[in-house]
Structure 1
């Protein structure tokens, strides 16, 4: 938006927006890279302190925009008025304009991360895992590579021909090419919104209808939409991990951790909980924990336990979260439930 305002001269009406976006632009490449890395390998989805190094270029960007943003409102207005009159001024080396080298390093850093994304996808593909995820990752990374390559070429051309910057940005075929790529990428997201968070297995309606036999005539259209294929093997894996190993008692258990233990993508596990268990991950785990607590209390095994000890033993991180979950599921507090047991 800031680029469009500057390009059209309307930035003079919004001086507070000028020289604001540069630090954020440097986060685009690293964010896409870390996102894809976590999507391909759930074990690497957690953000760690060392990942902050990916955003190191934000620091010089902040220093670059600081002189302008330290000006008072009147002085900022003078700067943007000049930019509106003389577009070439936006690419100058003046004190209150960001240094020209940012126009080179910004798309170059983003392009580097896009290439690293392609490398991650290649490594993932060699492991012969989900082919749909591989195709999505290649498409996603490929489109970003084209976009950032075009931006790099465009910015280099502008820096070398700053006198013709206005003409280049308004009539260059490269601008039309970039616009077409953006349109193609946006259209793909519109037609396949699941692409944004990874490709999940799609429902094959024809297979389902073929397997329903003569009973298919009795199924309404709304019921057909509710039918979902079930991965029995995955369900068995999840049940074994959660129930037999009682992993639900692990304090702070997350879906990412369970997905990593099962070596499956986050979205696939989330899809299973939504479709098969008809609930989200946290709700299902809390139901198991409360059921576990109820059985222990009914048997008298925990009659000497405090409520805090019961909460921790069942996998809740605190007494408060235990109380909230118990009241929601049992429609009474743990204390009231214990009182009912004693009165029996």
Structure 2
């Protein structure tokens, strides 16, 4: 913004300030690290201790403006400060890369809608990480010679400023069109530590479907059951939180239709047009809800997590573990620790 105003109005003092301050914009790299950290951990409020990550930014600005260290040690630290900035930025880039590689780019999931969300966040973080690297590369290209070897700048800092602006505009448009990028992995999850069949308590259902119907049979079915959609969805949502039917691995959508006493075709229509869950996802989430109920009723005092996974209908502990983490947002051990500490 400062560069743009300086060029637009040809203000010499502002141009000089822009050139001297531009090198320190890379000190905002920790802010990108904190964004990725909060995205992964679903933090929606700033944690005060994280100010430590950006305190160097303020110290660098104070040092540049008042030369406190230069006065204290009676020497010029510009050369060393520039080297420090270079190392500082590279360290954070490595930390960001390792953070994303471990927690985002290889994140596993069993639920189809979580897989979709994972793919979206993976593509976004890769794109954003590339943009950050381009941002840092610009810094090194513009200031490497001047600050490390005291050679004058060959490229004017504002020459390709429009490229940087264009990159940020594209990133902002992506966020506006996919706001879930700001909410992390809890965007489609519900509060699963308590039983709740209130339709407004989660995002699994769409009473008013926006999916276009191209099938004549489905169109006729829509006209026939349009007034029954909300009661059907309410029953499905209630059953999602309170049932043990899916402990049987062979329990099918046809069996569920019989339990709810509604036609099988109606049930398939609901999952196709009014649910963000496939029937397979619905079964898995219901099993996890059943496992939460058993855990809260002290099932694990005499049984293991392995036996719990099989009790609720999973073939083994591994798929149970991954699905549990998808739905609850914590591993089984983390969840047990959290309820024991309450």
Q: Give the TM-score category using the shorter length.
A: 0.3 to 0.5
| TM-score calculated relative to the size of structure 2 | 0.45
Q: Which has the higher contact order (CA 8 A, sep 6+)?
A: 2
